[in-house]
Amino acid sequence: MTHPLLFLLAALTLVAIPGPNHLYITTRSVGEGRRAGIASALGVETGTLVHIAAAAAGLSAVVAASATAFGFLRYAGAAYLVYLAYRTLRGRDHTGGPGLEPRPLHRVYLDGVLVNVLNPKVVLFFLAFLPQFVDQDAGAVPLQIVVLGAVTALIGLASDIVYAVAAGSIGAWLRARPAFARRQRYATGLIYLALGAAAAFAAPSARRA
């Protein structure tokens, strides 16, 4: 690996820029509470580990080079976000009124894993970003990718948890006010729909999603 300090600076800068993952985690935390937000953050970064393993094994390059495989990931990710929107908009809370139905944390975690694994922009991110800091002469390129990716995932997890905790506090404040709470489910569903549309139509980018 070359220039570790430069890598850390670049990773911190990219992770600090709010992206779709932050919006997804924030929405989850506002709608279902801080614990759901943290579970989503853990799920998202578990998905990142899957992408890191795929990049180290060379599978990410295969997916990026195949229009069919890349398109499948793109539209599968968009469809899953639309499904989350549908599930949210048709749900009712335990009181029978409009609101978000709390889901088991393991389901929230798995949602986060799938949202990130099915995001092809993350594939492109690791193909475009990590190789810049790999030293071909140092050998063990897959190991270097795993180490660099793991550091990026840890930084991302710290950032995600900050968003989850802050959004959880905002969500608790909103849920204590029925006038806001009644609109919360619809706002959350629309955000999922917007994320799904972005996943389906946005141009590929090297920025961390």
pLDDT value of position 29: 92
Helices (H), 90-133: 105-117, 120-129
Residue 32 has a pLDDT of: 87
Q: Please state, in angstroms and rounded to a whole number, the distance separating the CA atoms of residues 58 and 79.
A: 26
Residue 91 has a pLDDT of 66
The answer to whether the Cα torsion of 115, 120, 121, 124 is positive or negative is: positive
Q: What angle do CA 50, 56, 58 make, to 5 degrees?
A: 100
Q: What is the pLDDT of residue 204?
A: 53
Q: What is the mean pLDDT of each run of 10 residues along the chain (209 residues)?
A: 77 84 91 92 95 87 78 85 85 48 85 90 82 78 88 94 93 74 76 84 58
Q: Is 0.75 surpassed by the pTM of this model?
A: yes
